[in-house]
Amino acid sequence: MTQARIGGQSSRLWGGHLSLSTMPRRGLLSWGIDMDIAKGGKGWFWDGALTYGVGKIVRRRIGFRLGAGIRGSGWTKGGLGSALSVPVELALRVYATRSLTLQVALRPSWQVAGADSRKKGSTLLPFADELCLTAGVVWGRRTTRAMEVGLFLGARYQEIGGGRFMGLVFGMGYLNKP
C-alpha cells in the first residue's frame, strides 16, 4: 500500500512493485528494471524504468551500482500526466551476514517529454524533476548457482509532479551471490 499526495489531495494506492538489478562479482556491466502498477482513486498509477551502467561487489561484503536509462510513468484519470524521463540510479548493498542484506537506492530523474506539470517536482533534490528513494532488507536466503533469493521488506518514497508517494514494500529479493 502507498499513501500518495498529489495536488493537495490524499489518496491510497494498492498495487505491486518489481525491482531487479545486477551487481556482478566479475566484470563491471550492470542493469536494472523497476516497475510499479497501483490502483488509486479513479485510475491507475504506472511507472517503469530500465537502467544500464556499472556495478561491482567488493570484498564479498559491499555492492554498488551506478546506472542511467529511460523511464516512463503516469496516472490514468488521476490528474498526473504521463512523462518520459532519464533516470540516474545509485544503489548500495551491504551483505551484513549470510542471511541478511541491507539495500539503499537513490534515483533522481529528469523529464525529456510529457506533461509540463511534472518538471521541478522534487523538493529533496531541487535540481531533479523527480526522485525515488528505496531502503530495505533481504533476509532468509535460498541459493542457486548465481543468485540468492530471500524475503524483502522495505520502504519507498517518491516525489513526482509536486506530489509525494510513501509506502511499504514486501516481497521477494533477488541478489547476486557475493
Lowest mean pLDDT among 15-24, 47-56, 114-123, 140-149: 140-149
The answer to whether residue 11 is domain-embedded is no
Look at residue 3 and tell me whether its pLDDT is greater than 90: no
- Residue 99 has a pLDDT of 83
Q: Is residue 105 part of a domain?
A: yes
Burial readout 164-174 (b: 16 or more C-beta within 10 A, e: otherwise): bbebebeeebb
Q: Give residue for cell 509532479.
A: 161
Instruction: Render pLDDT for 22-75 as a digit per residue (tens, 0 to 9).
Output: 776 677 888 888 888 888 777 788 889 999 999 888 877 888 889 999 999 888
Residue 171 is assigned to a structural domain of this protein: yes
Residue 76 contacts by C-beta under 8 Å, 6 or more apart in sequence?
A: 43, 44, 46
CB 82 within 8 A of CB 73: yes
**Residue 61 within a domain:** yes
Residue 177, C-alpha cell as written in the block:
551471490
d(C-alpha 9, C-alpha 35), whole Å: 24
Domain that residue 169 falls in: 18-176
pLDDT of residue 66: 93
Would you say residue 34 lies in a domain? yes
The answer on pLDDT for 123 being more than 90 is: no
Q: What is d(CA 102, CA 154) in angstroms, rounded to the nearest whole number?
A: 10
| CA 13 to chain centroid | 16
Using the predicted structure, report yes or no on whether residue 108 has a pLDDT greater than 60. Answer: yes
**Residue 103 is assigned to a structural domain of this protein:** yes
Q: Has residue 1 been placed in a domain?
A: no
What is the pTM for the complete model shown? Answer: 0.81
Are residues 175 and 138 in contact, defined by beta-carbon separation less than 8 angstroms?
A: yes
Query: What pLDDT shows up at residue 177?
Result: 58
Residue 26 gets the label, from left (phi > 0), alpha (psi -120 to 50) or beta, of beta
Query: What total of structural domains would you count in the chain?
Result: 1
Domain assignment present for residue 7? The answer is: no
Average pLDDT for the chain: 80
